[in-house]
């Protein structure tokens, strides 16, 4: 299966674009680098995972994408607290990430259940 066919890949890619656009002019290069990299990592690991041969390897990359999702949630909460991210925007992103996490969990389970 190609990653382009997966809704979870599409959604995580769109979220990454939103994060990149929001931090395009940020002067805090350390925070900007961390939050954009974790957002990019979600879709990237989904893509890398679906191209793996074994279901075990596919599930491993999906697990990494889940970890990147948790990392992004953490950075969003910190960004809200330090006033880099408006609360309404941050909470909307977190809602999207939670939906992505549910989709990733289902995808990972589907790989684990294959014979």
- Domain CATH for 48: 1.20.1440.60
- 115 band by pLDDT with thresholds 50, 70 and 90: low
| Average pLDDT score over the chain | 95
Q: How many domains does the chain have?
A: 1
Range of the domain at 98: 12-112
Say if 93 falls within a structural domain: yes
Say if 1 falls within a structural domain: no
Say if 87 falls within a structural domain: yes
Q: What is the mean pLDDT of residues 80-98?
A: 98
- Among candidate residues 37, 41, 51, 36, the one with its CA nearest the CA of residue 4: 51
Say if 5 falls within a structural domain: no
- 112 band by pLDDT with thresholds 50, 70 and 90: confident
Per-residue three-class SS string for 70-94: HHHHHHHHHHHHCCCCCHHHHHHHH
- 86 band by pLDDT with thresholds 50, 70 and 90: very high
């Amino acid at each position: 299966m190609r990653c382009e066919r997966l809704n979870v890949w599409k959604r995580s890619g769109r979220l990454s674009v939103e994060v990149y656009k929001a931090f395009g002019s940020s002067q805090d290069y350390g925070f900007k680098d961390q939050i954009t990299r974790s957002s990019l990592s979600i879709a990237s690991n989904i893509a890398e995972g679906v191209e793996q041969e074994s279901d075990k390897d596919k599930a491993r990359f999906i697990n990494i994408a889940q970890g990147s999702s948790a990392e992004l949630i953490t950075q969003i909460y910190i960004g809200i607290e330090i006033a880099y991210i408006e609360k309404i925007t941050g909470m909307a992103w977190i809602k999207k990430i939670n939906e992505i996490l549910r989709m990733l969990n289902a995808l990972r389970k589907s790989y684990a259940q294959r014979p």
